[in-house]
Amino acid sequence: MSETEDDRAAILAVIDAETRAYLRRDYDAWEKCWHDGPEIRRIHAHAGTGISIIQGPEIRAQMRRMLSKNTEWLPPEAIRRENLNLVISPEMAWVTYDQIGDMSGVLSEMAGHYHELKILQKVDGSWKLACIVGTQLRTDHVRAPLVEVDASLRLVWMNEAAKERLPHHPLLGLHGNHLRARDPDARNELQSAVAWMAEIRDRHTPCVGEDAVTRALSLGQDDAGLTQICWAILRDGKLLITFDDSDRLERQLNSAARVYGLSDAQERLVRHLVEGRDLSSAAGALEISPNTAKTHLQRIYDKTGVRAQPALVRLLLNADRRGV
Q: Of 210, 110, 126, 192, give the one whose Cα is nearest residue 153.
A: 192
CATH number for region 246-324: 1.10.10.10
CATH number for region 3-139: 3.10.450.50
The helix/strand count (H/E) of the chain reads as 10, 13
Which CATH number applies to 142-244: 3.30.2420, 3.30.450, 2.60.40, 1.20.1050?
A: 3.30.450
For the chain, give every residue range classified as CATH 3.10.450.50.
Answer: 3-139
For the chain, give every residue range classified as CATH 3.30.450.
Answer: 142-244
Indicate the angle between helix axes 246-260 and 264-274, nearest 10 degrees. Answer: 140
Per-residue pLDDT, 57: 93
For the chain, give every residue range classified as CATH 1.10.10.10.
Answer: 246-324
Residue-level pLDDT, tens digit, the chain, 324 residues = 566 899 999 999 999 999 889 888 899 999 999 999 999 999 988 655 668 899 999 999 989 988 887 656 555 567 788 899 999 999 999 999 988 775 444 333 334 577 899 999 999 999 999 999 988 766 555 678 999 999 999 999 888 889 999 999 999 999 999 999 999 999 999 999 999 999 888 876 555 555 568 899 989 888 888 889 999 998 877 899 999 988 888 888 998 999 999 999 999 999 999 888 889 999 999 999 999 999 999 999 999 999 988 888 888 888 765 444
Per-residue pLDDT, 129: 97
* pTM greater than 0.75: no
Residues near 193 by beta carbon (within 8 Å), at least 6 away in sequence: 215, 217, 232
Per-residue pLDDT, 102: 54
Cα–Cα distance list, 150 to 126, 135, 137, 234, 238 (Å)? 44, 22, 18, 11, 8
Tally Cβ neighbours within 10 Å of residue 272: 18
Long-range contacts of 148-152 (CB under 8 A, 24+ apart): 148/238, 148/239, 148/240, 148/241, 149/178, 149/179, 149/194, 149/239, 149/240, 149/241, 150/198, 150/239, 151/194, 151/195, 151/198, 151/239, 152/178
Indicate the angle between helix axes 309-317 and 290-304, nearest 10 degrees. Answer: 60
Per-residue pLDDT, 86: 96
